[in-house]
């Protein structure tokens, strides 16, 4: 067969389609093998062999490329053709009967081009339409055979390729990145026992308990149907009408109104599987499990004023951030942690683990780290990969199984179903980004756009003509966990599902004061946009059950007095295991404390003192931060130092909200120029009010005064994260600046 593969490897013409020979090779100096020729030449489902798992990827790439290589195209040095390979002589003019005559129906080149164009959009996702994705690898810390036989965990150090898509929920495909919303965190593991999709969110709980309510929830949060407003936002009547009538959503509302709803970056969010799943080991023993992704960069957020302003400054803020980091070789990384517990333990909890509006507090079941995920390659093509990737909760592998969470049950159906209309038919598994690296063999046939060329006449089972193949694997394959069931068929909910407030209160009580302020701010903003007073009041009466303080503060912003508490569905008092969980505060999630990839704005103008800027610039580069030189205009500035400083961005095109920190230069003349720019004050004031780290060297301290950040240029009492320095102690102040930058934000200052 090797000979045969070599012979049929390429139709000579087809080979050209796949680009230059070296398009398939790893970058120079990298020793890892590129995908084998057998893989390149194979049909999609027959020889996408699992040899591609288990090996480390070379930097900037990873082994999933194997399934994609077949379809990668590179047009450089190629001739222009129709879709059927016919060379095109003229791509500028349609075919006409005479230069001023009518266009001809015969013009198959024009018609093919326009027809294809007419059909190049597909339906966007019903929810999570706006997203960004990247390739990467997951590496297991250890084998986990005690709990599961799932392929990624069978060996210490085992590498499994992944493709991960992050998203907002409510907005349409072209909507803003920094809306207040839940974020999707969907991971496709290409395991050697088939694809496993862990389709999670950045918040560990959900608005509803039963899939039956999902279409209602989504209809309520999406733009209102009569006028199509608002885009990518929950601050409107229908959303709050619905959730105020659904007290089970209160816990998730607390998270969504907190800073978790406005992450700084996809790279700085946690991910959660949300539902309770099962791990099943080779002996068939099952444990319950909750999945947690924890970013090494820490979990960090924006503040609302900043998020709203970023929407104007850069619609693609999160997409760009993820893309740029990966292009720069700053691969984002998460640790996967598991909360593993038995059914007996679950039975003893004060809440029901089948209820997706509840967490399992880490005080009860600690999170056990089991592996790490690194995203190390951007997609080649947004549509082919990020848009066409189809995540489905039904995609589990042997060793992973479902619990009876009724929300999960609906999802197992919904995702496969929606792909059929979104991607145009039942063969979406053959789209390269979705195709497993494990071989696919079954008797399913045909359908729209079938690509696999099945050989032989047998497409049924049992058969003798095909030697009984493909054969069942019995115990070796996926076996559903045989949970005993013996109850009446009913529509209803278990008792503990009726407790809608205990964990909302737990979340509130676990926040620091500034986090509580932000939650109040979130509720105030959203509810003040609601036009129907009765909805505001109803929501407030629900919040009284979470915390009287919360309700009181929100009421103030709405000009209301605190109403009576909404009657609870569960009358008896719940006795929770914990009333505070420090792990629920963002302050518990600083990450490694590095400042890598943090963007630091440095303002420049002719006449600044360049040497101190050059020294700070070098210090920032050394620790992996990203200094960005910003001037009144692009290009070199006169700064008195040997090495020219060059502004790469302008005050006009890059407002302060796009940066994590700010450095203002010394030099009277330059500071005067900056002071005269109309954007400077706002740049600094936003940085100050949003709690960013700021360093003003020498003369520029007066810019801080005019922006309202300090009272006097000689002031000694400085707010958190605010530094003024003379040129001489620069190294020391630079180090303090970097340390302050690693705190992400100084929330006790200004409006932050
Ligand atoms: Fe989804 N969800 N969902 N969801 N969801 C979709 O599938 C659905 C839920 C999540 O990047 C859709 O391919 C139902 C919880 C993510 O492509 C759809 C219910 C969680 C993504 C769908 C839920 C999620 C989706 C739309 C309640 C967190 C984006 C397009 C029963 C654990 C995946 C699509 C990507 C997407 C249905 C609730 C996460 C319609 C019916 C809970 C991250 O099938």
Q: Using only C-alpha atoms, what is the Rg of the chain?
A: 29
| Cα 332 from Cα 597, distance rounded (Å) | 10
pLDDT tops 90 at residue 37: no
The answer, yes or no, to whether the previous bond of 470 is cis (omega within 30 of 0) is yes
3-state secondary structure 427-439: CHHHCCCCCCCCC
Find the 580 Cα to ligand 1 centroid distance in Å: 30
For 131-236+255-430, the fitting CATH number among 1.10.3080.10, 2.40.180.10, 2.40.160.60, 1.10.260.40 is: 2.40.180.10
- Structure-block tokens of residue 402: 């479902």
Place of tokens 């700085």: 268
Q: What is the pLDDT of residues 228-281, one digit of tens each?
A: 999 999 999 999 999 999 999 999 999 999 999 999 999 999 999 999 999 999
Class of domain 599-741 as given by CATH = alpha beta
pLDDT class for 725, splitting at 50, 70, 90?
A: confident
Contact 659, 600 (CB under 8 A): yes
pLDDT in tens, 102-144: 999 999 999 999 999 999 999 999 999 999 999 999 999 999 9
Per-residue CA distances from 556 to 239, 453, 520, 542, 681 (Å)? 21, 67, 10, 16, 31
**Cα 145–146–149 angle (5° rounding)?**
35
Q: Are strands 661-664 and 693-697 parallel, antiparallel or unpaired?
A: parallel
Quote the Cα angle for 259-589-507, to 5°.
Answer: 55
Compute the mean pLDDT over every residue in the chain, rounded to the nearest whole number: 91
Nearest to 601 by CA among 692, 728, 698: 692
Asked if 651 and 679 count as a contact pair (C-beta separation under 8 A), the reply is yes
The number of the ligand 1 atom at minimal distance from the alpha carbon of 210 is: 31
**Total length of the chain:** 752
Domain boundaries, the chain: 2-72, 131-236+255-430, 599-741
Beta strand ranges found along 351-460 (DSSP E): 368-377, 400-402
User: Ligand 1, from 132, 414, 423, 424: best to mutate by most atoms within 8 Å of Cβ?
Assistant: 414
Six-digit token string for 119? 């059909």
Strand 333-341 and strand 368-377: pairing? antiparallel
214 lines ligand 1 (CB under 6 A): yes
Are 551 and 564 in contact by the 8 Å Cβ rule? The answer is no
**Residue 728: which pLDDT band, with cuts at 50, 70 and 90?**
confident
Chain-centroid distance, C-alpha 447 = 32
Q: Which residue has the tokens 């601050």?
A: 235
- 673: Cβ contacts below 8 Å, ≥ 6 apart: 605, 606, 607, 632
What is the model's pLDDT at position 45?
26
Provide CB contacts within 8 A for 464, sequence distance 6+.
none
The answer for residues whose C-beta is within 8 angstroms of residue 462's C-beta and 6 or more apart is 468
> For position 558, what pLDDT does the model report?
98
User: Region 313-323: what's the mean pLDDT?
Assistant: 97
Categorize the per-residue pLDDT at 460 as very low, low, confident or very high, splitting at 50, 70 and 90: very high
Can you tell me whether residue 590 is helix, strand or coil?
coil
Q: One of 62, 128, 202, 318 is an active-site residue; which one?
A: 128
Nearest CA to ligand 1 atom 28: 200
**Hey, what long-range contacts does 444-451 have (CB within 8 A, 24 or more apart)?**
448/424, 449/424, 449/425, 451/43, 451/44, 451/427
What is the percent of the chain with per-residue pLDDT over 70, rounded to a whole number? 90
Q: Is 395 a catalytic residue?
A: no
Tell which wins on pLDDT, 389 or 60: 389
167 lines ligand 1 (CB under 6 A): yes
Query: What's the pLDDT at 726?
Result: 82
- Residue 276 has what DSSP assignment? -
DSSP category for residue 658: G
User: Rounded to whole angstroms, how far apart are CA atoms 400 and 381?
Assistant: 31
Q: Are 636 and 583 in contact (CB under 8 A)?
A: no
Confidence class for position 647, pLDDT limits 50, 70, 90: very high
Distance CA 260, CA 243 (A): 18
**Residue pair 535/241 in contact by the 8 Å Cβ criterion:** yes
Q: Whose CA is nearest to atom 41 of ligand 1?
A: 411
Residue 48 has pLDDT above 70, yes or no: no
Which pLDDT belongs to residue 263? 98
Measured in Å, residue 169 CA sits from the centre of ligand 1 at 9
Pocket flag, ligand 1, residue 131 (CB < 6 Å): yes
Predicted confidence (pLDDT) at residue 34 exceeds the cutoff of 50: no
Q: What is the DSSP pairing of strand 649-650 with strand 159-168?
A: unpaired
User: For ligand 1, what atom is nearest to the CA of residue 274?
Assistant: 32
633 is written with which tokens?
């205009």
Model confidence band, residue 75 (pLDDT cutoffs 50, 70, 90): confident
Ligand 1: which atom is nearest the Cα of residue 273? 32
Backbone φ and ψ for 58, nearest 5 degrees, come out as -80, 155
Per-position b or e across 490-519, b if 16+ CB within 10 A of its CB: eeebeebbbbbbbbbbbbbebbeebbbebb
Assign 52 a pLDDT band (cuts: 50, 70, 90): very low
Q: What is the ipTM of this complex?
A: 0.98
**Secondary structure of residue 518 in the 3-state scheme:** helix
Burial class (CB in 10 A: 0-12, 13-18, 19+), 572: exposed
Cβ neighbours around 118 below 10 Å, total: 8
**To the nearest 5 percent, what fractions of the chain are helix, strand and coil?**
35, 15, 50
**Of 6-10, 150-154, 528-532, where does mean pLDDT reach its minimum?**
6-10
The encoded tokens of residue 683 equal 């740049």
Exposure pattern of 409-438 as b/e (b: 16+ CB <10 Å)?
bbbbebbbebbeebbeebbbbbbbbbbbbb
Which positions ≥6 away from 257 have C-beta within 8 Å? 180, 519, 522, 523, 526
Q: Is the CB of 239 under 6 A from ligand 1?
A: no
C-alpha dihedral, 184 to 185 to 188 to 189, nearest 10°: -160
Q: How many other CB atoms are there within 10 angstroms of residue 449's CB atom?
A: 12
Ligand 1 neighbour 391 (Cβ under 6 A): yes
Rounded-to-integer distance, Cα 665 and Cα 435, Å: 53
201 catalytic? Reply is: yes
């Amino acid at each position: 067969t090797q000979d045969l593969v070599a012979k049929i490897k390429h139709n000579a013409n087809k080979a050209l389609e796949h680009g230059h020979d070296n398009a398939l090779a790893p970058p120079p100096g990298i020793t890892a093998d590129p995908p084998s020729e057998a893989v390149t030449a194979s049909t999609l489902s027959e020889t996408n062999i699992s040899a591609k798992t288990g090996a480390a990827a070379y930097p900037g790439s990873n082994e999933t490329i194997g399934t994609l290589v077949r379809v990668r195209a590179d047009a450089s040095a190629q001739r222009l053709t129709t879709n059927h390979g016919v060379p095109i002589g003229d791509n500028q003019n349609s075919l006409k009967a005479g230069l001023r005559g009518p266009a001809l129906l015969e013009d198959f080149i024009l018609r093919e081009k326009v027809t294809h164009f007419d059909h190049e959009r597909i339906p966007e996702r019903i929810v999570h339409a706006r997203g960004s994705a990247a390739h990467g690898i997951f590496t297991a810390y250890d084998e986990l055979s005690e709990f599961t036989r799932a392929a990624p965990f069978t060996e210490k150090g085992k590498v499994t390729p992944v493709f991960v898509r992050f998203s907002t929920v409510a907005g349409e495909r072209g909507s803003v990145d920094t809306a207040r919303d839940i974020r999707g965190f969907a991971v496709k593991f290409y395991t050697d026992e088939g694809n496993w999709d862990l389709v999670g969110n950045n918040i560990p709980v959900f608005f509803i308990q039963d899939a039956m309510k999902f279409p209602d929830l989504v209809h309520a949060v999406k733009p209102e149907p009569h006028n199509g407003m608002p885009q990518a936002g929950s601050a409107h009547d229908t959303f709050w009408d619905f959730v105020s009538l659904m007290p089970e959503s209160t816990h998730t509302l607390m998270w969504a109104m907190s800073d978790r709803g406005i992450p700084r970056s996809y790279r700085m969010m946690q991910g959660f599987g949300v539902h309770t799943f099962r791990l099943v080991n080779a002996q068939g023993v099952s444990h319950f499990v909750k999945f947690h992704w924890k970013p090494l960069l820490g979990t960090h957020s924006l503040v609302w004023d900043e998020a709203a302003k970023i929407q104007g400054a850069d619609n693609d803020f999160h997409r760009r951030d993820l893309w740029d980091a990966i292009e720069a070789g700053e691969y984002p990384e998460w640790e996967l942690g598991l909360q593993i517990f038995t059914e007996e333990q679950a039975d003893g909890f004060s809440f029901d683990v089948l209820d997706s509006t509840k967490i399992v507090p880490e005080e009860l079941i600690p999170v056990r780290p089991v592996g790490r995920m690194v995203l190390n390659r951007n997609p080649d093509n947004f549509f082919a990969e990020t848009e066409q990737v189809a995540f489905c909760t039904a995609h589990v592998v042997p060793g992973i199984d479902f619990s009876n969470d009724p929300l999960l049950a609906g999802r197992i159906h919904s995702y496969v179903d929606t792909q059929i209309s979104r991607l145009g038919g039942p063969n979406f598994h053959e789209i390269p980004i979705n195709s497993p690296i494990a071989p696919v063999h079954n008797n399913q046939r045909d359908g729209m756009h079938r690509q696999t060329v099945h050989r032989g006449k047998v497409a049924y089972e049992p058969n003798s003509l095909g030697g009984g193949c493909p054969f069942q694997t019995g115990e070796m394959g996926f076996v559903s966990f045989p949970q005993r069931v013996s109850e009446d068929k009913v529509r209803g909910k278990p008792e503990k599902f009726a407790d809608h407030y205990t964990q909302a209160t737990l979340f509130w009580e676990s926040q620091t004061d500034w986090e509580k302020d932000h939650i109040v701010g979130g509720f105030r903003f959203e509810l003040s946009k609601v036009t129907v007073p009765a909805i505001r009041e109803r929501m407030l009466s629900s919040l009284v059950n979470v915390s009287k303080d919360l309700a009181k503060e929100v009421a103030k912003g709405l000009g209301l007095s605190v109403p009576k508490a909404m009657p609870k569905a569960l009358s008896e008092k719940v006795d929770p295991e914990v009333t505070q969980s420090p792990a629920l505060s963002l302050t518990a999630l600083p990450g490694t404390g590095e400042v890598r990839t943090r963007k630091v704005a440095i303002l420049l103008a002719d006449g600044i003192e360049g040497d101190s800027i050059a020294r700070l610039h070098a210090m920032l580069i050394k620790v992996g931060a990203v200094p960005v030189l910003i001037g009144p205009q692009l290009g070199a500035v006169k700064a008195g130092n040997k090495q020219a400083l060059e502004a790469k961005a302008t005050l006009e095109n890059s407002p302060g909200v796009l940066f994590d920190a700010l450095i203002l230069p010394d030099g009277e003349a330059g500071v005067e120029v900056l002071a005269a720019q109309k954007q400077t004050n706002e740049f600094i004031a936003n940085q100050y009010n949003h709690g960013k780290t700021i360093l003003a060297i020498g003369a520029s301290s007066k810019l801080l005064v005019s922006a309202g950040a300090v009272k006097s240029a000689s002031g000694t009492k400085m707010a958190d994260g605010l530094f003024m320095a003379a040129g001489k102690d620069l190294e020391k102040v630079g180090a303090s600046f970097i340390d302050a930058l690693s705190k992400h934000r100084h929330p006790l200052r200004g409006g932050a």
